[in-house]
Copies of this chain bind each other. A is one copy, B any other.
Amino acid sequence: MPSSDFSASLPEHFAPVALDKCYRLLNHGPTVLVSAQHDGHANVMAAAWACALDFHPPKVTVVIDKAAFTRGLIEQSGRFALQLPTVPQAALTVALGSTSAHQMPDKLQQHAVPLFASPLHGTPLVAGCAAWLECRLIPESHNQQAYDLFIGEVEGAWADVRVFANGHWQFEHAPDALRTLHYVAGGHFYATGAVVEVEN
């Protein structure tokens, strides 16, 4: 898939998130979509095992199986993006997690994945998500080979301002369709739920 296929305009509510606050996009443990491109090929997969790793500079971990087509794109390009699908994207998330571009080369077209290019480095991003983190791969060969564990430094972060603003999630004030997903197994997810505030 050539890069020009995802040169659509930025989503309407897309806004930058300060890098010192971007760990908060992953802190609540959402399921993510992992996207990458190399040499004219783009792909997107689902991953439940992504996590923040550091604040300054912000880093993340994500577990990516050796069978994943996206893994090769990340290793070759040295870049990937994590993004947080929303409740209406649950079926898309399952589809992207259960099919591989190894077997279905036109996976993105088959699933009609709406892509646009990151304004920073052009990594393909999925429209309709709640937030996006564009990362530079920090190569760690032992972790990648022994544990399928990839580490990235976040270089750019964005969110839908209706649901993440002023450094905080606003799920309780946003449309329910912007709630993020927490995967269990099969086609079973939980949406991000009620706010719980502790005085401190």
Contacts and interface: CB of A to CB of B under 8 A. Distances in A.
Interface stretch (A3-11, A37-45, A112-120, A177-185): A177-185
Contacts of A51: 49-51, 61, 63
Nearest to A54: B147
Copies in the complex: 2
A53 B49 contact: yes
A188 to B, nearest CB: 6
Interface in A175-200: 179, 181-200
A124 interface: no
Contacts of A190: 28, 169, 171, 192-196
A167 to B, nearest CB: 8
Contact of A188 (B185, B193, B195): B195
Interface stretch (A69-77, A87-95, A128-136): A87-95
Q: Which bracket fits the contact residues of A? A: 35 or more
A143 interface: yes
22 contacts: A24-B184, A27-B48, A27-B185, A29-B29, A49-B53, A52-B63, A53-B63, A53-B147, A53-B149, A54-B63, A94-B198, A94-B200, A143-B143, A147-B151, A167-B185, A168-B185, A179-B193, A182-B182, A189-B198, A190-B192, A190-B193, A191-B196
Which 6 residue pairs are nearest across A and B when measured between Cβ atoms?
A: A29-B29, A193-B193, A187-B198, A28-B182, A51-B51, A189-B196
